[in-house]
Amino acid sequence: MRVVMVGGGAIGLLSARLLAAAGVEVCLLDQGAVGGESSWAGGGIVSPLYPWRYSPAVTALAHWSQDFYPQLGAQLLADTGIDPEVYVTGLYWLDQEQAAPLAWAAREQRPMRAVPVEAVYRAVPALAKGFSQALHMPDVANVRNPRLVKALRAALTQMPNVTVHEQCAVSGFIREGERICGVHTSAGEMRGDRVVVAAGAWSGELLRSLGIELPVEPVKGQMILYKCAEDFLSSIVLANGRYAIPRRDGHILIGSTLEHVGFDKTPTEEALASLKASAVGLLPALADADVVGHWAGLRPGSPKGLPFIGPVPGHAGLWLNCGHFRNGLVLAPASCQLLTDLLLANEPIIDPAPYAPEGRLG
């Protein structure tokens, strides 16, 4: 089998790696540099920000992926020498209503508990004063997403049955009868037995050329980055919808905005001021630190954050793995394994029905 993978973010890269490991020939295409869009721009928390607010279908993907991430990081380091830095720090939710989260954790058997706020201040002395209650999950990790996509790219270069075409924009699909058998690109036709659309926020635009209304749209998010001492922040902290994520080397990410402005990725002064205020509201010492990075990315927004994984009805050969909204990095390992299982007619890791495009497209 030959698969054309449209999109080289974390979803496309990991899907390509799993399919190629199973012996499939993969041609991966990206309109820019692989991993250069949402996968590079995100924060890399290996958990939904508010996991109790999501459907059981999103939760199933998240839990499988969370449990798999340490193994994935170790595999990529061994294979490529590039460490994605799957860094287990835990996560504190501050001044968060507690009944629903704790009920969710008990039902899902996840290790969340209410902790005295004094214990939080002992663990995170840089935290701003004034918080009154906290929830804690000790096993939440973050992954250094730019290094994750770099490692996945390097892993693919070692696989003889994978070709990667960057700066290769897809303009439409090759259709023979009812079957999709390839794509038209800026570098010519690329044909395959299956075409997988994993193009993130651009997936809906691509499918519109076939008359398919895929409810995936760009949702802009802006982030800022500080550089602090390595021991400045020991855990992810989240309050009022904003979070601080520590990297091992002392970089601190603050995010993020949620903006419906189409495909505009321009960082704005308004967002910079808002994110700085959130940073200082969480960690007052950041008032004296310099912002060393400020950027924007486009999330692939979808109804209820539920991705589309599986074949497109009425278009034989066309498959989707897209629409992960705010949780692409969180859900990637499970989403890509599920796609691989379905494409190769293997027993799927989880029930694929909730993610099926059938009945969810216009």
3-state secondary structure (DSSP) of residue 236: strand
- 2-74+146-215+303-355 folds as FAD/NAD(P)-binding domain (3.50.50)
Give residue-wise pLDDT tens across range 180-237.
Answer: 999 999 999 999 999 999 999 999 999 999 999 999 999 999 999 999 999 999 999 9
Superfamily of domain 91-138+218-301 in CATH is D-Amino Acid Oxidase, subunit A, domain 2 (3.30.9.10)
d(C-alpha 84, C-alpha 77), whole Å:
7
**Residue 211: per-residue pLDDT:** 96
3-state secondary structure (DSSP) of residue 115: strand
Tokens of 321: 């793995």
High-pLDDT (> 70) share of the chain, %: 100
Computed on alpha carbons and rounded to an integer, the radius of gyration of the chain in Å comes to 20
Give residue-wise pLDDT tens across range 275-313.
Answer: 999 999 999 999 999 999 999 999 999 999 999 999 999
Closest by Cα among 42, 89, 38, 73 to 253: 42
Mean pLDDT across the stretch 144-160?
98
Closest by Cα among 257, 293, 303, 242 to 94: 242
Q: Where are the domains of the chain?
A: 2-74+146-215+303-355, 91-138+218-301
Give residue-wise pLDDT tens across range 239-253.
Answer: 999 999 999 999 999
Query: Please, which residues have CB within 8 angstroms of residue 276's CB and are 6 or more apart in sequence?
Result: 224, 254, 286, 291
* Residue 171 in this model has a pLDDT that exceeds 90: yes
Tell me which amino acid residue 78 is.
A
* Residue 315 in this model has a pLDDT that exceeds 90: yes
Closest by Cα among 10, 130, 122, 119 to 72: 10
Mean pLDDT across the stretch 33-56?
97
For residue 222, list its beta bridge partners: 296
**336 contacts 324 by C-beta, under 8 angstroms:** no
Mean pLDDT across the stretch 316-342?
98
Sign of CA dihedral 137, 258, 291, 37: positive
For residue 35, list its beta bridge partners: none
Q: How many CB atoms lie within 10 A of CB 48?
A: 20
Closest by Cα among 89, 63, 105 to 143: 89
Closest by Cα among 240, 1, 234, 254 to 121: 234
**Residue 38: per-residue pLDDT:** 97
**Residue 192: per-residue pLDDT:** 98
> Is it true that the peptide bond before 256 is cis, omega within 30 degrees of 0?
yes
**199 contacts 169 by C-beta, under 8 angstroms:** no
* Residue 128 in this model has a pLDDT that exceeds 90: yes
Phi, psi for residue 332 in degrees, rounded to 5:
-55, -50
pLDDT band at 362 (very low <50, low <70, confident <90, very high): confident
Where b means 16+ CB within 10 Å and e means fewer, 18-32 reads: bbbeeebbbbbbbbe
**If you search the block for the tokens 């009425």, which residue do you land on?**
314
